[in-house]
Chains A and B, each alone.
Chain A
């Protein structure tokens, strides 16, 4: 009899699982008795085992005094119990069996042959059984039927190549019953117990460390144990949690062991995806049910483990229509409906709605998108939904002017506006507001466009706000909240266009008349923007004098109160200057700026208006 056993058969158990455990333990004892005493050790590691089970174990021990009962009086979780098996076992190799599975006769002898042949770890096949242990079919862990093989895993390439052969996570040691492991070596780099790696995948973490140095892995395809299926109590109690534990656990191991993006990490993650093939995405969506916040979390995990974003998004769309009963856009004939992307819908859209419930500065930033839509779609009707103050800048567009305050406080007004956008029946909708807001989301929902683009309104503060995720339902795609405006055009597959304004015809006439009355050349007229006194005061006099010397005329513009501010700097230039002060409307100023050769001074907002009007800053001027 040798000093240490060659093999330890270990069964971790918890609570009262005596009905299964009895079977598993009997099979282990049977194997031990088939070998000379001391060759095969059997131990049960207990995690807060209940009294009836404890009595059963003691009874076993009374018959087989060499049976070792170890463990903890309280339940410390699966990971602790798994590691405890390694810590308590004394055998050269350790085989940890699920307490509802069962060793098959002769398995220890077969495993010891592989040990004699120089294995560091052994992966064995299973025979799957129903919950009553009636045999169903043998099961291997590879994509293709694979005969007995010795894998020399001596580096990242070999390991990645091995992962790529796997059909099931069990091949990557996720299934404890299927792996026999050299104990000393496993203990050399024992994974620490931490909540970070908790979640029931400690065996995979340990084996990935084990395989960081060269190892000889023996695959024995012959089923050496019975695996009881459909006995996952965790999955039965909370399928959502079960599926997510799989995803997060696998991802954490990938991050811990294969943090670098590359073939090895990808091959490891692919094992998880192969394990349930495409069913996982659908199952997760089904399990999230009506809870969109939950689904968002699940979706992030699916994408992180490398599921095809197309699959994820189409499953999401399909589920919305099928189970969530999100109606199809009403102007799409369901018989001819198909999947598309925003670029295709933008090109083909017959009607486009742009929600411009934004302030002036944001609007000015986004006018380039309107121009891109105008030039990039084929004779589509474009309707802009905007507040009253922006309407005079949007001549030529179909307008739906919405007073936001009234919308939020007057039910009938709101319903009428929602009906109006619904009746317009856009194929494409773009919401320009970075905050989106309730009004915009309601309008988007009512529009029921085939494709819809908006900004994500998520901030660290509102992430868990109730209903926020639900409100994003109408949108096909959300861009990050701080994405620059040109990304909207890119997401729609549109060529970038310059910013533009469309002042109403009256303003255009007025601007033309202003220049004609004085016989000024608009291209040689410098617009002096009067709403930022410091800018004017600092360098103003010098620059303006220089411009007038160069033959330019000066036109003072600004908001309320700027006529007096402009009076002093313009005074020296007599007939060469005109102070319009606050006399022009927003559209009037835009029309004037569209004609002026350059502009000077002004606040950031005013300069943005000038820029959108195509009026360059002084010094310089129109080419």
Chain B
């Protein structure tokens, strides 16, 4: 190690204005273009103003050899950690080891663009505390694709004074991408000492993957002259990120919620503005993306769903995505009652009005009769069904006066798979447009019948803590919470007026 690096804290020497730091791990293939460009910038700047520092995080590949070969490009400092200390610590060690007043931490697969250092030095001379600038997005071969700004509207060169929550909020409102909130390390230049003073925040955020954004949120607690340069000052190589798996996506979601709570938990307006940037950053694709990668694991989705709502996505969007996912990935396909050529969407109130055939599965005892009667009365009065079938036990047939009855022996259904299959087939042949599992206990045997009906729309109560594995997947349109007047709950979900008092069974 360079002896000058032995005491990193003391290394901030007067003279060097800007340190271009390249923390790297296992990307020897990218170092040539990165260093070549950085050295060129250094040589184009007044002597001593710009330094270059490469920090190798104990890369097992040929990074050392490649750096040796690159020494010919010009003077650059290098350090190597004896063991991999993690990306965040490597980044921090760059800041500590650098000598410049200002730091540019550049992703090891990115590349400084010609003239960038001169442009930055001018902005720093004009009194910036923090610079933010555009990127040139490139393909893997660093061929330019398009310039990327981080704002919602085209933004000319501007210097903002961020000295109040209001000013910070205005900045958040401008941002289209999280890079605007300093999530993209290559797109900003900051004061070394002030950044290091925010070390505690940096360390708090170090599991998020964007500790630097935590540090800058802290940094902005002091009045800050934020200078925006609209020209792209570096080439950003796209397509080198890891695939977006569930935990990677959740890390982002969790991390930004945590950051918002940590810094703006006491300011709901600012917190909301910040989370809005998180949503804009993904153009609302976050919901679909997370739903997709949690296919097959409801626990994951439950977790993601809660966080997405905390992130401020509208319930409506989350529910829509959930429904669309059922169709697209889980193959939700109602039974043969529908005409595929005219397939469209609908909801339970429309279905309750329009259903040609309605089936109620009510395997509870006579105690359920008053609430059941309430549902039946509403359906008969306000619906237009040609046929309503009640699947019930012998002791509940009284509820079905004037309806089609499918009598079942619940004990036998539970004990005899053949008997269950027969009842299920009979219900399937009825081909209901709407199925109501009218049993607040949501017995598994009732669910088995409901699943067999394959009705376009179906309604049931959320089951109790029965082992989930044993339950048939009926794929209900809506699950209701059980309540004492559960008949009224069903009516409300179906958009039917509720009879004020349970009618006589």
Contacts and interface: CB of A to CB of B under 8 A. Distances in A.
Question: Do A and B truly interact?
Answer: yes
Interface of A: 278, 282, 308-315, 317-323, 325, 327-329, 332-350, 378, 427, 450-453, 476-477, 491
B351 A340 contact: yes
A491 B456 CA distance: 18
A338 B341 contact: no
B333 A345 contact: no
10 contacts: A317-B343, A321-B324, A323-B328, A333-B347, A339-B343, A340-B345, A344-B355, A348-B351, A349-B353, A450-B345
Interface string B5-35: 0000000000000000000000000000000
Contacts of B349: 333, 336, 348, 350
Contact of A314 (B288, B319, B332): B332
Contact of A310 (B340, B347, B351, B384): B340
Contacts of A325: 284, 288
Given A278-B331, A339-B346, A321 B320 contact: yes
Contact of A378 (B341, B356, B384, B458): B384
Interface in B125-151: none
Interface residues of B, number: 48
Which of B325, B332, B339, B457 has most A Cβ within 10 Å? B339
Given A321-B321, A346-B354, A450-B347, A282 B342 contact: no
Contacts of B333: 310-311, 314, 339
B478 interface: yes
Given A336-B493, A338-B351, A340-B457, A328 B345 contact: yes
Contacts of B356: 344, 347
A325 B287 CA distance: 11
Contacts of A348: 346, 349-355, 384
A332 B347 contact: yes
A528 B214 CA distance: 87
A328 B343 CA distance: 14
Interface of B: 284, 288, 291-292, 315-316, 319-329, 331-334, 338-356, 384, 433, 456-458, 477-478, 493
B350 A476 contact: no
Contacts of B352: 348
A319 B328 CA distance: 6
Contacts of B458: 338
Contact of A349 (B292, B345, B354): B354
Contacts of B325: 318, 322
A341 B354 CA distance: 11
Nearest to A278: B331
Contacts of B350: 332, 340, 344-345, 348-350, 427, 450
Contacts of B344: 317, 339-342, 345, 450-452, 476-477
A425 to B, nearest CB: 12
In the A-B complex, the 9 residue pairs with the closest CB atoms: A348-B354, A318-B328, A340-B346, A318-B327, A347-B354, A334-B319, A321-B324, A342-B342, A476-B344
Contacts of A282: 328-329
Nearest to B331: A278
A314 B342 CA distance: 11
A332 B346 CA distance: 7
A390 B341 CA distance: 31
Given A340-B346, A341-B340, A341-B456, 16 more contacts: A309-B340, A309-B341, A310-B340, A310-B343, A314-B333, A320-B324, A322-B324, A334-B319, A340-B433, A343-B342, A344-B433, A345-B346, A345-B354, A349-B353, A378-B354, A491-B341
A349 B352 CA distance: 10
Nearest to A325: B284
Contacts of B493: 336
